[in-house]
Amino acid sequence: MVELRKVIVFIFVSFLFVYMIWINFSVLNKFGHKKLLSALMISGLGLISIGTFFDVISSLSGMKFRNLIQICFTAGAIIFVTYIILWSNHIAKILANLNQHAHTDAMTGVYNRIGFERELMKKSSRKKESFYVMVLDLDKTKEINDNFGHLNGDRYIISAAKIIKDEMGKIGFVGRTGGDEFIAFLENVNEYDIEKIKHSIKIRVSNIFLKENKNMNISIGYSKYEKDGQDYDELLRIADERMYEDKKKRKNIIRNLQ
């Protein structure tokens, strides 16, 4: 009966060993499974398999392999536990990376809409004081694409995103919600600070194509929590309306100058 139990254990461990090798080379390598992890997994389970094999031989033949069996089990267990720890850390990094990609705009490196709204909900749920939501829309994007090519159009969007992110600094964060549309969250500021940031963004964006002698524009509107609305949708709607008012105002100025 004892021998049968040991045979069953040996078969199970051997099956697990073969299965893990198959998983390693057919599946895990596609997810960046490192060679060190593969070596640890194979070594650990291999030693445990060898230990169970000699345990069966010892029971069936009466030959004594006690020291060898103990060494195989102990070393195998230590190596395999080390593998499990390192593999868990590796998986955690992969998941963190996937999470980052899921919430980040690939072109600009700022949040995408999902990432921005997630961060906003986290911030607003913890905060009692007021904050601002800012909507920004780049002008002349189609003109840049048509006259200078899509690479320069992408450069325009990427440069603008960097400017907006720089201006937010530690007081907020920014997300890209469309082709040339952005949204920002700002805290620990007053309306005077907001106007300074708004003005600075406009100046810096206008100079993106300075070498090409092309003056660019960005329309900006913002809303304040509690004063303008109690929830995100209301704040976004008001900020969006004010952004279009800003765009319309500038177009009227240009029209009057012509």
131 and 62 in a common domain = no
The pLDDT tens digits for 44-80 are 888 998 988 888 887 777 677 888 889 998 999 999 9
3-state SS record for the chain: CHHHHHHHHHHHHHHHHHHHHHHHHHCHHHHCCCHHHHHHHHHHHHHHHHHHHHHHHHHHHCCCCHHHHHHHHHHHHHHHHHHHHHHHHHHHHHHHHHHHHHCECCCCCCECHHHHHHHHHHHHHHCCCCEEEEEEEECCHHHHHHHHCHHHHHHHHHHHHHHHHHHHCCCEEEEECCCCEEEEEEECCCHHHHHHHHHHHHHHHHCCCCCCCCCCCEEEEEEEECCCECCHHHHHHHHHHHHHHHHHHHHHHHHHHC
Q: Which two tokens stand for residue 5?
A: 């139990």
H or E element: which one contains 237? helix 232-257
Question: What is the predicted pLDDT for the residue at 255?
Answer: 59
219 and 150 in a common domain = yes
- CA dist 163 and 144 (Å) reads 18
Entry pTM: 0.69
Q: Which domain holds residue 200?
A: 113-257
The pLDDT tens digits for 70-114 are 999 899 999 999 989 988 888 888 888 888 888 999 899 999 999
pLDDT in tens, the chain (258 residues): 556 777 787 788 888 888 887 777 766 666 555 678 888 888 988 899 898 888 888 777 767 788 888 999 899 999 999 989 988 888 888 888 888 888 999 899 999 999 998 888 887 766 567 899 999 999 989 888 888 888 989 999 999 999 999 999 889 999 999 889 999 999 999 999 999 999 999 999 999 988 877 888 999 999 999 899 888 899 999 999 999 999 998 776 655 555
Question: What is the predicted pLDDT for the residue at 126?
Answer: 65
DSSP code, position 171: S
125 and 94 in a common domain = no
149 and 86 in a common domain = no
Domain membership flag for residue 119: yes
CB neighbours of 200 closer than 8 A, spacing ≥ 6? 167
Give the domain CATH number at 251: 3.30.70.270
* Count of structural domains within the chain: 2
90 and 164 in a common domain = no
224 and 155 in a common domain = yes
89 and 176 in a common domain = no
CB neighbours of 232 closer than 8 A, spacing ≥ 6? 117, 120, 121, 124, 133
